[in-house]
Chain A
Amino acid sequence: MTHIARILKDDRPGAALLIMLLAASAVVPFCNLALAEGNPLHLPTYSMTLWGKYLCYALLAVSVDLIWGYLGILSLGHGAFFALGGYAMGMYLMRQIGGRGVYGNPVLPDFMVFLNWKELPWFWHGFQWFWFAALMVVAVPSALAFVFGRFAFRSRVTGVYLSIITQALTYALLLAFFRNEMGFGGNNGLTDFKDILGFSLQEDATRAGLFALSALALAAGYLACRLITASRLGMACTAIRDQESRLRFVGYRVENIKLWVFTFSAALAGIAGALYVPQVGIINPTEFSPLNSIEIVIMVAVGGRASLYGAVAGAILVNAAKSWLTVAFPDAWLFGLGALFVFVTLFLPYGVVGLIRKKGKRS
Chain B
Amino acid sequence: MKKTERRTCRLLPPLVLLLLVLFPGNCHAALDDGFAEGIALLASKSFAQKTEGAEKIAGSGDKRTDKVLRAFLDGQLYFTKEGQVLVYGVPGSDGLQVTDALIETPLGIMSADQLNKITINNQLRGQLKTLLARLSLRSADPAVRLAGVREMFADITPETAKVFDDLRQTEKDDRVREALLTALALAGVRSADLAERKKGLVTLAESLDPEVRNELTRLIGEEKDKTLLQEAKRSLGKIEAKLSWYAKLETVFFGLSLGSVLVLAAIGLAITFGVIGVINMAHGELIMIGAYTTYVMQLLLPDALGVALALSVPVAFVVAALVGIAIERSVIRFLYGRPLETLLATFGLSLILQQAVRSIFSPLNRSVATPAWMSGSIAINPVLSLTINRVTIFVFAMLVFAGLFLLLKKSSLGLQVRAVSQNRAMARAMGVRASRVDALTFGLGSGIAGIAGVALSQLTNVGPNLGQSYIVDSFMVVVFGGVGNLWGTLVGGLVLGVANKFLEPWSGAVLAKIVILVFIILFIQKRPQGLFPQRGRAAE
Chain B's closest residue to A153 (CB) is B525
Chain A residues with Cβ below 8 Å from B335 are 345-346
Chain A residues with Cβ below 8 Å from B526 are 155
> Does chain B have a CB within 8 A of A40?
no
Which stretch of A47-55, A217-225, A294-302 is in the interface?
Answer: A294-302
> Does chain B have a CB within 8 A of A332?
yes
> Does chain B have a CB within 8 A of A137?
no
Which stretch of B176-184, B260-268, B382-390, B472-480 is in the interface?
Answer: B472-480
Chain B residues with Cβ below 8 Å from A164 are 475-476, 479, 524
> Does chain A have a CB within 8 A of B331?
yes
Q: Among the listed B331, B475, B510, B525, which residue makes an inter-chain contact with A151, where contact means beta carbons less than 8 Å apart? A: B525
| A52 to B359 Cα, complex, angstroms | 33
Instruction: Answer whether A349 and B341 are a contact pair too, CB < 8 Å, given A157-B528, A290-B472.
Output: yes
Query: Is B528 touching A161 in the complex (CB atoms < 8 A)?
Result: yes
Chain B residues with Cβ below 8 Å from A161 are 479, 483, 524, 528-530
How far does the Cβ of A255 sit from chain B's closest Cβ, in whole Å?
12
| A334 to B363 Cα, complex, angstroms | 13
* Interfacial residues of chain A within 107-161, with CB under 8 A of chain B in the complex: 148, 151-152, 154-158, 160-161
> Does chain A have a CB within 8 A of B378?
no
| A164 to B480 Cα, complex, angstroms | 10
Query: Is A346 touching B334 in the complex (CB atoms < 8 A)?
Result: yes
Chain A residues with Cβ below 8 Å from B520 are 165, 168
> Does chain B have a CB within 8 A of A178?
yes
The proximity string for A residues 327-358 relative to B, scoring 1 for CB distances below 8 Å and 0 otherwise, is 00001101101111110111001000000000
In this complex, how many residues of chain A approach chain B with their Cβ under 8 Å: the count is: 43
The proximity string for A residues 281-322 relative to B, scoring 1 for CB distances below 8 Å and 0 otherwise, is 000000000110010011001000000000000000000000
Chain A residues with Cβ below 8 Å from B525 are 151-152, 154-155, 157
> Does chain B have a CB within 8 A of A246?
no
Instruction: Answer whether A346 and B331 are a contact pair too, CB < 8 Å, given A164-B479, A171-B472, A172-B514.
Output: yes
* Interfacial residues of chain B within 325-350, with CB under 8 A of chain A in the complex: 331, 334-335, 339-345, 347-350
Chain A's closest residue to B338 (CB) is A349
Chain B's closest residue to A148 (CB) is B521
Q: Among the listed B351, B359, B524, which residue makes an inter-chain contact with A341, where contact means beta carbons less than 8 Å apart? A: B351
Q: A164, A171, A332: which has the most chain B beta carbons within 10 Å?
A: A164
> Does chain A have a CB within 8 A of B310?
no
Chain A residues with Cβ below 8 Å from B347 are 294, 298, 341
How far does the Cβ of A61 sit from chain B's closest Cβ, in whole Å?
14
Chain B residues with Cβ below 8 Å from A346 are 331, 334-335, 345
Chain B's closest residue to A301 (CB) is B344
Chain A's closest residue to B345 (CB) is A345
> Does chain B have a CB within 8 A of A167?
yes
| A340 to B352 Cα, complex, angstroms | 10
| A292 to B379 Cα, complex, angstroms | 45
Chain A's closest residue to B363 (CB) is A331
Query: Is A176 touching B528 in the complex (CB atoms < 8 A)?
Result: no
Chain A residues with Cβ below 8 Å from B472 are 167, 171, 290
Q: Among the listed A156, A291, A338, which residue makes an inter-chain contact with B528, where contact means beta carbons less than 8 Å apart? A: A156
The proximity string for B residues 506-535 relative to A, scoring 1 for CB distances below 8 Å and 0 otherwise, is 000011011001101110111011100000
The proximity string for A residues 89-109 relative to B, scoring 1 for CB distances below 8 Å and 0 otherwise, is 000000000000000000000
- Counting contact residues on chain B (CB < 8 A from A), the size range is 35 or more
Chain B's closest residue to A342 (CB) is B348
Chain B residues with Cβ below 8 Å from A151 are 521-522, 525
Query: Is B510 touching A341 in the complex (CB atoms < 8 A)?
Result: no
> Does chain B have a CB within 8 A of A74?
yes
| A197 to B419 Cα, complex, angstroms | 64
Query: Is A298 touching B483 in the complex (CB atoms < 8 A)?
Result: no
Query: Is A334 touching B354 in the complex (CB atoms < 8 A)?
Result: yes
How far does the Cβ of B323 sit from chain A's closest Cβ, in whole Å?
15
Query: Is A172 touching B331 in the complex (CB atoms < 8 A)?
Result: no
Query: Is B355 touching A338 in the complex (CB atoms < 8 A)?
Result: yes
> Does chain A have a CB within 8 A of B281?
yes
Chain A's closest residue to B334 (CB) is A346
Chain B residues with Cβ below 8 Å from A344 are 344
Chain B's closest residue to A151 (CB) is B525
Chain B residues with Cβ below 8 Å from A169 are 517, 521
Query: Is A179 touching B510 in the complex (CB atoms < 8 A)?
Result: yes
| A335 to B360 Cα, complex, angstroms | 13
> Does chain B have a CB within 8 A of A175?
yes
| A133 to B475 Cα, complex, angstroms | 35
Chain B's closest residue to A295 (CB) is B347
Chain A residues with Cβ below 8 Å from B513 are 172, 175
Query: Is B521 touching A334 in the complex (CB atoms < 8 A)?
Result: no
Query: Is B517 touching A172 in the complex (CB atoms < 8 A)?
Result: yes
Chain B's closest residue to A178 (CB) is B510
| A124 to B172 Cα, complex, angstroms | 71
Query: Is B344 touching A338 in the complex (CB atoms < 8 A)?
Result: no
| A176 to B510 Cα, complex, angstroms | 8
| A175 to B355 Cα, complex, angstroms | 26
Instruction: Answer whether A175 and B510 are a contact pair too, CB < 8 Å, given A165-B520, A339-B352.
Output: yes
Chain A's closest residue to B473 (CB) is A171
Given contacts A155-B526, A160-B273, A172-B517, 5 further A-B contacts (CB under 8 A): A169-B521, A172-B514, A341-B351, A346-B335, A346-B345
List 15 A-B residue pairs with CB atoms under 8 Å apart, sorted by A's residue number. Answer: A155-B526, A160-B273, A168-B476, A172-B513, A175-B513, A179-B511, A298-B344, A298-B347, A298-B348, A334-B355, A338-B351, A341-B345, A342-B348, A345-B331, A346-B345
Closest 4 interchain pairs by CB? Answer: A341-B348, A338-B351, A338-B352, A334-B355
